[in-house]
């Protein structure tokens, strides 16, 4: 396979969605939001107008949302009766700075002038004004844990009040989706449940073995055999090796898919017809820069290895590699 064809295949494989039970739950919850927009238009809807999608980095939540947003017709840009472009969905990435920075991210995405010096109350009003003006019914905020510059009780309470206010606009059925890592749960896990009463939650948890062994075997078959056209070494589907993939990917579902993909790409690049453990070991070495004894895919003590500590030997004797 020449370089151009291999590049095309890599892009195609990375773009291919591998669904799981979490994706089905997420889609169900998003569709419920869409239905609620219709209910509000008919006079009365649920006050639950926010969805929190929570999982650590690499869990696959952002990718799942991206594919869902691209597929559902309710989120697609279209022209209104005046020939103006309407974007029902606006997706932005949060940064530290609270509601003011969120407002400026929204303004930038809408190609409107930013105002870094505005006060929080004014910024909240701007968001509640510009979104209806541009036909935005769904606001997605990724890395939403960064909305909280400080996680003091007062700062959390202020953000709760502001986010609750966004979905209390009676004249516009705005629904919000917040995706982020586990610390995002801080906004919901307090004595003040005013925000949590208005929200649904979708967890993107870690892989748990042996319960998820068949899930991972399915991923390996899908990526290696169906998408890349490779044969599989018998060892690849053994419980021991699936465990190695999980450890190497820090038990994150999205990262585990990437781990399998990269091993397959290496095999194809070297014109190997069979996917073998050596392909995983080489990719792990290149990614982590680990010593041979710390390679999850070749070490006998793989279950004790912490990938995050792969470079511990460079930082002195204080940290253990395993």
pLDDT digits (tens, 9 = 90+) for 35-51: 999 999 998 899 999 99
Which among 163, 76, 161, 90 has a CA at the least distance from the CA of 130?
Answer: 90
CA 173 to chain centre: 25
- How much of the chain exceeds pLDDT 90, in percent? 79
Mark residue 269 as left, alpha or beta (left: phi above 0; alpha: psi -120 to 50; beta: remaining): alpha
**Regions of the chain short of the pLDDT cut 70:** 149-150, 316-322
Q: Tokens for 48?
A: 């639950």
Q: How far apart are the first and last CA of the chain?
A: 39
Residues 96 and 146 sit within 8 Å (Cβ to Cβ): yes
Question: Using one digit for the tens of pLDDT, what is the confidence trace for 65-79?
Answer: 999 999 999 999 988
pLDDT score of 37: 95
Question: Using one digit for the tens of pLDDT, what is the confidence trace for 170-181?
Answer: 889 999 999 999
DSSP summary character for residue 57: T
Which among 102, 86, 251, 255 has a CA at the least distance from the CA of 178?
Answer: 102
Which among 275, 274, 297, 276 has a CA at the least distance from the CA of 287?
Answer: 297
pLDDT score of 22: 87
Residues 65 and 179 sit within 8 Å (Cβ to Cβ): yes
Q: What is the DSSP string of 144-202?
A: GGGG-S--SHHHHHHHHHHHHHHTT-TTS--EEEEEE-GGGGGGTSSS--TTGGGEEEE
Which among 148, 149, 134 has a CA at the least distance from the CA of 185?
Answer: 148
pLDDT score of 148: 82
Residue 290: is the preceding peptide bond cis (ω within 30°)?
A: no
Q: Strands 78-79, 85-86: parallel, antiparallel or unpaired by DSSP?
A: antiparallel
Residues 6 or more apart from 53 whose CB is under 8 A from it? 26, 61, 65, 177, 178, 179, 180, 201, 202, 204
> CB burial class (10 A; 0-12, 13-18, 19+) of residue 307?
middle
Which among 48, 86, 89, 52 has a CA at the least distance from the CA of 68?
Answer: 89
Give me Rg for the CA atoms of the chain.
23
Which among 22, 24, 31 has a CA at the least distance from the CA of 54?
Answer: 22
């Amino acid at each position: 396979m020449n370089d151009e064809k291999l590049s095309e295949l890599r892009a195609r494989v990375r773009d291919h969605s591998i669904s799981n039970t979490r994706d089905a739950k997420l889609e169900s919850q998003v569709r419920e939001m869409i239905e609620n927009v219709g209910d509000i238009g008919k006079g009365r809807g649920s006050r639950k107008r926010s969805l929190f999608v929570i999982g650590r980095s690499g869990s696959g939540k952002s990718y799942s949302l991206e594919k869902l947003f691209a597929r559902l017709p309710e989120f697609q840009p279209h022209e209104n009766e005046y020939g103006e472009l309407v974007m029902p969905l606006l997706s932005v990435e949060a940064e530290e700075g609270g509601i003011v920075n969120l407002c400026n991210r929204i303004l930038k995405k809408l190609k409107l002038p930013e105002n870094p010096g505005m006060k929080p109350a004014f910024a909240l009003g701007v968001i509640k004004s510009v979104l209806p003006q541009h036909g935005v019914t769904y606001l997605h905020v990724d890395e939403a844990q960064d909305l909280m510059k400080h996680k003091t009780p007062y700062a959390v309470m202020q953000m709760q009040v502001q986010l609750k206010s966004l979905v209390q606009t009676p004249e516009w059925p705005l629904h919000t989706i917040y995706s982020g890592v586990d610390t995002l749960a801080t906004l919901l896990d307090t004595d003040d449940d005013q925000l949590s009463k208005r929200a649904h939650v979708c967890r993107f948890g870690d892989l748990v073995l042996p319960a998820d062994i068949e899930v991972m075997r399915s991923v390996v078959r899908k990526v290696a055999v169906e998408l890349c056209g490779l044969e599989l070494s018998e060892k690849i589907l053994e419980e021991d090796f699936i465990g190695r993939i999980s450890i190497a990917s820090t038990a994150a579902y999205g990262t585990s898919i990437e781990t399998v993909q990269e091993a397959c790409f290496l095999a194809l690049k070297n014109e190997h017809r069979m996917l073998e453990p050596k392909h995983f070991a080489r990719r792990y070495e290149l990614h982590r820069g680990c010593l041979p004894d710390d390679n999850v895919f070749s070490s006998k003590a793989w279950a004790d290895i912490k990938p995050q500590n792969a470079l511990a030997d460079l930082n002195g004797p204080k940290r253990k590699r395993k």
